[in-house]
Structure 1
């Protein structure tokens, strides 16, 4: 059963902290998962969170720190000494340790790494910090199990036991040559049934998926998702085995990318959260609001150019349908772009662009035709002349076609230029389609009605 934070639990914990009842607090957290404890700390006052972090053993608090909200963790780390942080880092896997240290200032990074007792652990962390953000190198961990092709099965088993002590989960056993170049992987089943005197070179599997250390983390996520991998080895340009990336790291990448795309699609130019400062929230929202404002001003200018329609008492009602045209254009564009962005994210947008063009036109014609029939029926019920109904319905069909094409090709063009295509699913596509929609609407209406 999942743990649930209750008011009674928090009140009891707060009282125990107030009277410094350390044994009771330790017992309270003894059977809780570190992710649950992290949730509890996010709910407590800062001083109370620091109290618990310093009370619990480093083996548990190191895991808790990786699960904490970034803002909470930043405040806690600011109030821990370099030695205290080093004690926590010493219990972490290298990838988690590098992520935590990477949040510190350069001076504190040096102090913490210097305070680490395990020199090999410190060297591994420094190596991970040297890789570019969002690369496989920054994402990987150094903990893995590797064996040499020249080892015997008996010798391999002894060394695996020693290596496995440092690895929390043994997803795969990697086989390397004398130069530490990755040449394959080892099946645990084959290892168990093999004879003790057999060489690893006789039983290893030479087919193994790997990624380059400079590969983009999103590409790594696509590869692991495509082949259902729980872990993937990381190599350099010479195919030397450097580390491995596990599925939990990829889940974090996918979550971050989904959050970023969601915010872009809703007109937020940077990563912001509900509890950020007013300045950060304004900075994240304002650029798209300005874009929307200029888009609306553009629509005003377009409508001014069709003043003759407004001056004609027989066709003033055309302006009442302006919000309808703009809304449909925006919705169609967002629908089309959302499908394309999803396809690009999953690497499904392949083949001829002309075929996709014809497909979008076909979909638009069907949707536009059905919606146009509804418009004709609606306007006839209201008593408008048939020419008026045709002007609106033909305009609507044209707007739907243009909006769907814009929604389809803008994300593809952005992607080809190295710009996040999620940008095209939000206010950008809505604003542009609003403007084009109004322009097309009044232009067609003016032609059909002969105004």
Structure 2
């Protein structure tokens, strides 16, 4: 299959067909185009053209297109659809995707849209999902699944499964519940097919099944599914009743969104933004950390001002200030990045003290190697051994301290419930710059006897 590529020529052709209202030609052109590619096309069209395209195509395709659209494009299109048209799109979607779209609608039309959904059970399931926090397993799950009662016979189980499977896009697992809907286990299709049709399910099912609570954080759900290589995981409420399931495609979205957020935090962007956002939104996201960097620079300048006389007498110290600051920032970011990654993957083992000691010795080894190179370079360049020694020893101390700060800070933030990814950005760089310069000039002053 050749990957879809949206060219200017194709986009102009589609826009021309829409403007000319050549419906038959447009339908024929879009017939074999995947819904994700249709969404890519709609994102590039203007609002009226995108709406026309969505209204023209069948709901079984456009419903999935809506889930793939950029949020602002989807909002614009939904504003141009009637409540009945929106309801028609929602009926084609799984409940989790439908609930996500309903959650984006203006509150004043939500009830009207829900009432237009002809499948009342589907509507009730959507409403049920809306009551969960979007940042929870309940807000992530879908209601579509296949479940059987432990007291049913194999024959009845097969009949019920056939009926339920009609409403499930993909059957990952068959879950077993008791009369109170509490999750008891899972059912192997092989065991189901090789046992007597009169045998009760309670004699066949596998009692061991991984599940998550409705209030579990999506990040924790992602860790569990990743650890056990699960394609789907059942969700239970506070008393153990089976209420839904989360599938791997939803978890991939969680992982991607979390990675994007961490990347932006590491780059010093304090809120979720995109390149197409307004200048004001982008400014608000970037300015706080830029302001922190400004304060850090002023702090470093103030520290250097306190050593003004020493810098005047030993100008070479000034030349190496950017190197010291850069090494402090780089080492701190490296250390914090490793810790943040370990926390994210939940594979950080051992106590904090052991981790700090390990990082200290690692930084010390790196510092000594780099300091030896710097010592010979400075000695050959300027011919003053004591000055070269002072700068080199300062570099070792700065690298060790930066490594400790870079290790401790994300661990501390994690303990406080703050996203540790923030420690890999300007926060750690700025703090290490200040400490690095202070340590550098203090050690140089002592060793040079000033």
**TM-score bin (small chain):** over 0.9
Instruction: Give runs of aligned pairs for residues 285-324 of structure 1, distance below 5 A.
Output: 285-312=286-313, 315-324=314-323
Q: Distance in 1 between matches of 2:286 and 2:354?
A: 37
Name the counterpart of 1:19.
20
Name the counterpart of 2:343.
344
**Per-residue deviation, 1:354:** 2.0
**Per-residue deviation, 1:351:** 1.3
Where 2:37 maps in the other structure, the secondary structure is helix
Name the counterpart of 1:229.
230
**Per-residue deviation, 1:304:** 0.9
Instruction: Give runs of aligned pairs for residues 227-376 of structure 1, distance below 5 A.
Output: 227-312=228-313, 315-376=314-375
Name the counterpart of 2:47.
46
Matched, 1:426 2:425: yes
Q: Distance in 2 between matches of 1:448 and 1:144?
A: 72
**Per-residue deviation, 1:80:** 1.2
Name the counterpart of 2:392.
393
Q: Distance in 1 between matches of 2:244 and 2:312?
A: 73
**Per-residue deviation, 1:205:** 0.3
CA offset digits 1:139-182 (Å, max 9, x no partner): 00000000001111111111101000000000000000011110
**Per-residue deviation, 1:381:** 2.1
**Per-residue deviation, 1:226:** 0.5
Q: Distance in 2 between matches of 1:264 and 1:45?
A: 32
Name the counterpart of 1:206.
207
Name the counterpart of 2:410.
411
Q: Distance in 1 between matches of 2:199 and 2:187?
A: 13
Once the two structures are overlaid, the 10-residue window that deviates more, 371-380 or 401-410, is 371-380
CA offset digits 1:249-304 (Å, max 9, x no partner): 00111111000000000000001111100110100110001100011111111111
Q: Give me the TM-score of the superposition, normalised by structure 2.
A: 0.98
**Per-residue deviation, 1:362:** 1.5
Name the counterpart of 2:35.
34
CA offset digits 1:320-365 (Å, max 9, x no partner): 1100000000000000000000000000112122221221111111
**Per-residue deviation, 1:403:** 0.4
Q: Distance in 2 between matches of 1:45 and 1:105?
A: 22
Name the counterpart of 1:378.
377
Q: Give me the TM-score of the superposition, normalised by structure 1.
A: 0.98
Give 5+ residue unaligned stretches, structure 2.
none
Name the counterpart of 2:219.
218
Where 1:102 maps in the other structure, the secondary structure is helix
Q: Distance in 2 between matches of 1:56 and 1:224?
A: 36
Where 1:244 maps in the other structure, the secondary structure is strand
Q: Distance in 2 between matches of 1:311 and 1:231?
A: 67
Name the counterpart of 1:164.
165
CA offset digits 1:216-254 (Å, max 9, x no partner): 111111100110000000001111000000000001111
Q: Distance in 2 between matches of 1:375 and 1:18?
A: 68
Where 2:382 maps in the other structure, the secondary structure is coil
Name the counterpart of 2:447.
448
Q: Distance in 1 between matches of 2:107 and 2:142?
A: 21
Q: Distance in 2 between matches of 1:399 and 1:110?
A: 61
Root-mean-square deviation (Å)? 0.9
Q: Distance in 1 between matches of 2:145 and 2:302?
A: 64
Give structure 1 regions of 4+ aligned residues with deviation exceeding 2 angstroms: none
Name the counterpart of 1:185.
186
Where 2:320 maps in the other structure, the secondary structure is helix
Number of aligned residue pairs? 449
Matched, 1:121 2:146: no
Once the two structures are overlaid, the 10-residue window that deviates more, 99-108 or 140-149, is 99-108
Once the two structures are overlaid, the 10-residue window that deviates more, 112-121 or 322-331, is 112-121
Once the two structures are overlaid, the 10-residue window that deviates more, 350-359 or 140-149, is 350-359
Where 1:180 maps in the other structure, the secondary structure is coil
Where 1:260 maps in the other structure, the secondary structure is helix
Q: Distance in 2 between matches of 1:384 and 1:50?
A: 74
**Per-residue deviation, 1:310:** 2.5
Where 2:446 maps in the other structure, the secondary structure is helix
Where 2:389 maps in the other structure, the secondary structure is helix
